[in-house]
Amino acid sequence: MENNKSKKGLIIGGIVVAVILVVAIAVAIGYVVIQNGQNNPLASAMGGEDNMNAENTDANNSNNSQENDTNTAKENIVSNSVNNDSTNMQSSDTNSENNTTGQNPIATIEIANYGTVKVELYPNMAPNTVKNFITLAKNGFYDGLTFHRVVEDFVIQGGDPKGNGTGGATLSSVDTSIKKGSAEDKEYCIPGEFAINGYTKNTLSHKEGVISMARSDYSSMGLGDEIAKKGYDSASSQFFIMTDDNTYLNGQYAAFGKVISGMEVVDKIDEIEVDENDKPLNPPVITKITVETYGIDYGKPETLEDFDINAYISQIYGITKAN
């Protein structure tokens, strides 16, 4: 009887020790994940300036800003079931990114006082995104705009007509039949060509030199899948160029090309002085963007109606604007 009791005691003690070990390991893993999240530059890479205004209402704190797109992305990345293992992502050098109808288009980005960056675009990866970028460049949309946000060893971001991360293109920029400033000339967005939005053909990894589209993110606001998808489909004109490998963006942003020359220009911009909101003290100016398409007409992009998150939140919470 005593031996049986001793054996039972040993078994129970062993189970308790095992449970304690499992809990300790889980806590340790959680701590590492949290620490990695805190060190993740994505969390502040595109945080809009409007978020810094303490006088903003709840609606304004959910500002429909292309720069607010990644403030909560580390939580989204953890919750999404997308396999972001870079080993499963094809590099920009693989044959799958070559345009089977001809040579891939080459974008030339001229930046005042810095130099020229050439970017090979990949229509096979993100055809509509490439159409959008080519059309905007062809119509001179980017000429005179700036790189308004720089996060060292992460991204340089540009293409915002407002220069503060809250702007986007209007329909007249991609459809010359629409008169600029007319009632029809509204801001637009394009479908997100990446995995969490159901588009699986884009396997371009977010490595150094890759160009990708900035977008808004509503997935962590608790407003449902329909509103989350509005964020997936919210890119317009703002783009960013990776200045280091950040493959946790894979499957969540529409990468559509890679720098093939002038990376030293990108690196030079990556080192410029910025304020506390990552806005350059002297924003580099995009003199012009041209695209050599080698005789291929890529056509106009598919566009979607722009979603106003502020108006939506105001509606559901009954917030009215002061006169």
pLDDT in tens, 249-303: 999 999 999 999 999 999 999 999 999 999 999 999 999 999 999 999 999 999 9
State which residues form the domain around 2.
1-39
Q: How far apart are the first and last CA of the chain?
A: 85
Q: Quick check: 305 pLDDT over 90? A: yes
Task: Check residue 317 and give its pLDDT.
Answer: 86
CB 274 within 8 Å of CB 281: yes
Same domain, 75 and 15: no
What are the angstrom distances between the C-alpha of 83 and each of 203, 205, 322?
Answer: 11, 12, 46
CB 222 within 8 Å of CB 212: no
Task: Check residue 320 and give its pLDDT.
Answer: 67
pTM of the predicted protein model: 0.73
Task: Check residue 322 and give its pLDDT.
Answer: 56
CB 130 within 8 Å of CB 298: yes
Same domain, 158 and 107: yes
Lowest mean pLDDT among 83-97, 157-171, 178-192, 234-248: 83-97
CB 212 within 8 Å of CB 255: yes
Same domain, 292 and 241: yes
Same domain, 112 and 219: yes
The answer to the question of residue 144 being in a domain is yes
